[in-house]
Structure 1
Amino acid sequence: MVTVQKPNGRPRICIDPRPLNKALKRSHFPLPTIDDILPDVSKAKVFTVCDVKHGFWHVKLTEESSQLTTFATPFGRFRWLRMPMGISPAPEVFQRRLMQALENLPDTYVIADDILITGKGDTTEEAEKDHDRNLRLFLERCREKNIKLNAEKLKLKLRRREVPYIGHLLTADGLRADPEKVRAITQMPAPTGIKGVQRLVGMINYLAKFYKHLSDDCEPLRQLTHKDSLWEWSDVQEDAFKRLKEKITQVPVLKYYSPEEELTLQCDASETGLGAALTQKGKPVAFASRALTLTERGYAQIEKECLAIVFGMEKFHQYTYGRLVQSDHKLLENIFKKP
């Protein structure tokens, strides 16, 4: 048993459940992502975000399961009566229970312990009325099911025109990069070792859907993380680092995907990477990119352009079936026209 300090200064008791997890079977329940709900919030104008207080503790353990969580302390042996953090089935079990408790609530979405309530309408006034009605139904359900909410966080994200949610900023105009994550990158000092580069690339990759041609801009830094590479922070890496920090502050607002509108996949390939962009009505829905392997870099340009299309179709497969693909490589177009 160890204790860690929570952001509010209170202690959190943690156990090491790794030996137990080896014997546990995880539930087969899909965990939703932010991309799953974005099409549904495309017409939302008012948002509220709240989280469940001590989320896992809402799930009471059976006597048999409780016995399995027994742990030793200097004061004797104890066991959990409620589901603790760290056991492998916990995320799926909690997600399923919470979604069951809140099912059929209008414009209410659940990802882990973060709950989003939205309001829609042609005007802001209509959206606020719709939101307030949905929020009232949600709170009544929470009272009925004895779901405890974090009141402090609810006050900060109540009835807003834009709210941070799962690492993104939801607004009435579209999806924005979370300013806190952007600020963390722009204030980051130049890395002094490989671990620092890996941390930087990982932070930027979290915002990859907003960043066009991210793979190409990251290439000078990524080279430093290769197995046999020697550490050298030259002007090339410094320029790439500054360029990334500058461009991350200029990423566009992404349009919410609409199933009713025509969608286009734009693909391109460079000497070092592949890029793809989903657009609707000329506005970006999402970007994606990746570096080419050493073998792929030896491909002819026409093969790279075709590979970019394959990459884009696979990356955005849930959107791209039966859709239009755009490529700026004329020879590739001629090949596809041949019988």
Structure 2
Amino acid sequence: MQYTAPDRDEFAKQIQELLDANLIEPSKSPHFSPAFLVNKHSEQKRGKRRMVINYKKLNDHTIGDGYLLPRKDELLDQIRGKKLFSSFDCKSGFWQVLLDDSSQSLTAFTCPQGHFQWKVMPFGLKQAPSIFQRHMDETFKGFESFCRVYVDDIIVFSNNDKDHITHVTKVLDRCKDIGVILSLPKAQLFKETINFLGLIIDKGQIRLQSHIGSYKQGRLVRWQLWLQYFNIEFEHVEGIKNVFADALSLESYQRYV
């Protein structure tokens, strides 16, 4: 893969950060996957390009994990009607899962700085969401009546202040006991209105975030919930007609929701 001079500088910086954090190590593995940098909206917002590794070939030869992610519609039904909310985001969630020695060599990747492999679970492996979801479900087992987790997003919900203090305290204590690391800047505490999974939960009512658009909200929410059952990914390619988005916006598709 060909890299520009700015790419090489950015790789050098990020690889050194990962080495210093003991997340990766130099590799002699016969396996390798290419690494590249992306600069989409979220990266532009934080002012830092993101290193991505294309694990397609590895994923093609990997047995999947059958552990299911929660159904968003059931999760939202449980939240609907609650009065107070707090949410937490796991800091680099997948990186909190250690890899055994035999798995580390499979995650090897190449970049301008050389050949490296992960000591923790990287983003891009097809089993990663299921593995992490299982870990989080086991972590918060017994808390389902007031706490739900969708991969690395945690939401706590209650009917009143007193209960919410108790519920949030239990969740934070469990994180401390198990060693789950949270991103404090992303935490939302004791809110009547909260952002969660791309939706706004306002005093127990659920609606789309304003930047998505206010028209046809109900239909768009139903489409979002329905599409979760399919293993698909939409990607915008500059200059290419976005036929999937166009199809979803057609009035004739109303009959399917």
* TM-score for both structures, normalised by structure 2: 0.69
* Match status 1:27 vs 2:65: yes
Q: Select 2:255's aligned residue among 286, 289, 312.
A: 289
Deviation per residue, 1:222-248 (Å, 9 max, x gap): xxxxxxxxxxxxxxxxxxxxxxxxxxx
Please give the alpha-carbon distance, in whole angstroms, between the structure 1 residues aligned to 2:182 and 2:174. 12
Cα–Cα, structure 1 residues 173 and 37, in superposed 2: closer, same or farther, change >3 Å? closer
Q: Select 1:53's aligned residue among 72, 91, 94.
A: 91
**Greater Cα offset, 160-169 or 16-25:** 160-169
Deviation per residue, 1:142-199 (Å, 9 max, x gap): 1111111111111xx221112121122222252223223126999xxxxxx9825643
Q: Which residue pairs with 1:139 in the alignment?
A: 172
What is the aligned residue count? 197
Asked whether the equivalents of residues 58 and 147 of structure 1 are also in contact (C-alpha less than 8 Å), the reply is yes
Cα–Cα, structure 1 residues 44 and 173, in superposed 2: closer, same or farther, change >3 Å? closer
Q: Which residue pairs with 2:110 in the alignment?
A: 72
Compare CA radii of gyration and give the structure with the larger one. Answer: 1
Asked whether the equivalents of residues 44 and 119 of structure 1 are also in contact (C-alpha less than 8 Å), the reply is yes
Please give the alpha-carbon distance, in whole angstroms, between the structure 2 residues aligned to 1:33 and 1:41. 13
Q: Which residue pairs with 2:36 in the alignment?
A: 2
Asked whether the equivalents of residues 44 and 172 of structure 1 are also in contact (C-alpha less than 8 Å), the reply is yes
Cα–Cα, structure 1 residues 99 and 201, in superposed 2: closer, same or farther, change >3 Å? same
Please give the alpha-carbon distance, in whole angstroms, between the structure 2 residues aligned to 1:94 and 1:173. 27
Asked whether the equivalents of residues 81 and 205 of structure 2 are also in contact (C-alpha less than 8 Å), the reply is no
Cα–Cα, structure 1 residues 13 and 197, in superposed 2: closer, same or farther, change >3 Å? closer
Give the SS at the match of 2:185: helix
Deviation at 1:76, TM superposition (A): 2.4
* Match status 1:119 vs 2:158: yes
2:162 is matched by which residue type in structure 1? Answer: K
Q: Which residue pairs with 2:13 in the alignment?
A: none
Q: Select 1:96's aligned residue among 110, 129, 134.
A: 134
Please give the alpha-carbon distance, in whole angstroms, between the structure 2 residues aligned to 1:70 and 1:18. 13
Q: Which residue pairs with 2:200 in the alignment?
A: 169
Give the SS at the match of 2:212: helix
Q: Which residue pairs with 1:195 in the alignment?
A: 241
* Match status 1:44 vs 2:82: yes
Q: Percent identity?
A: 27
Deviation at 1:11, TM superposition (A): 4.0
1:3 is matched by which residue type in structure 2? Answer: L
Please give the alpha-carbon distance, in whole angstroms, between the structure 2 residues aligned to 1:45 and 1:108. 14
**More relative contact order, 1 or 2 (CA 8 Å, 6+ apart):** 2
* TM-score for both structures, normalised by structure 1: 0.53
| Uncovered stretches (5+) of structure 1, i.e. residues with no partner | 121-126, 187-192, 205-214, 220-272, 274-287, 291-314, 316-339
Cα–Cα, structure 1 residues 34 and 199, in superposed 2: closer, same or farther, change >3 Å? same
Deviation per residue, 1:110-163 (Å, 9 max, x gap): 01211110111xxxxxx1111111111111111111111111111xx2211121
Asked whether the equivalents of residues 61 and 83 of structure 1 are also in contact (C-alpha less than 8 Å), the reply is yes
* Match status 1:87 vs 2:125: yes
Cα–Cα, structure 1 residues 173 and 99, in superposed 2: closer, same or farther, change >3 Å? closer
| Uncovered stretches (5+) of structure 2, i.e. residues with no partner | 1-34, 218-238
2:213 is matched by which residue type in structure 1? Answer: V
